[in-house]
Amino acid sequence: MKKLLITTALVAGLTFTAAVAAPDASAPAAAPPSYIDQALAQLPQDKAEQFRDTMSQAHEHNRDVYEQIHQTHQDLHDILIAPKFDKSAFLSKSHDLRKLHDQIGANIDKSFANAVETLSPAERQTFADSLENSHEQHVADKTDHQQ
């Protein structure tokens, strides 16, 4: 069960590509910008758009894998609620799920590297600094909310 929760959290974390896609018109106007959006705002508009396009293509490339993950989660659910728990089947499906997550991660990493490769050294520095600042602010905000 712990592994299932961890893998579910990983899926949520790996949906990072959705955050770099063009803003959704149906999203609430008050939604705070993502780390990536904040960092991309520091870049020239053409470079930011090119970055978003590259990551959007990665998301599309992963679409079949996302569907496989959804099916594997359903399979895990079925295993968990079966009258007799099949430990071997659960471990096998958990392994399959981990491999699918790794596949998405590899695709995202490659696309991210391709997108960053097009930036100048100064733009990469700006981008990296902005990502770090956004992350530090997020951690600080999260800590404040937990207290």
pLDDT in tens, 49-106: 999 999 999 999 999 999 999 999 999 999 999 999 999 999 999 999 999 999 999 9
How much is the pLDDT for 77?
97
Handedness of CA 88, 94, 100, 103 (dihedral sign): negative
Q: Who contacts 51 (Cβ-Cβ below 8 Å, separation ≥6)?
A: 20, 40, 43, 115, 116, 118, 119
Residue 140 lies in a domain: yes
What domain count does the chain have?
Answer: 1
How much is the pLDDT for 81?
96
How much is the pLDDT for 12?
38
Residue 108 lies in a domain: yes
Residue 124 lies in a domain: yes
Residue 19 lies in a domain: no
How much is the pLDDT for 8?
41
What range defines the domain where residue 113 resides? Answer: 34-146
Compute the distance between CA of residue 85 and CA of residue 3 in angstroms, rounded to an integer: 15
How much is the pLDDT for 32?
63
Residue 16 lies in a domain: no
- The verdict on pTM exceeding 0.85 is no
Task: Give the residue with greater pLDDT, 34 vs 89.
Answer: 89
- DSSP 8-state assignment for residue 28: -
Which of 5-9, 44-48, 52-56, 106-110 is the least confident region?
5-9
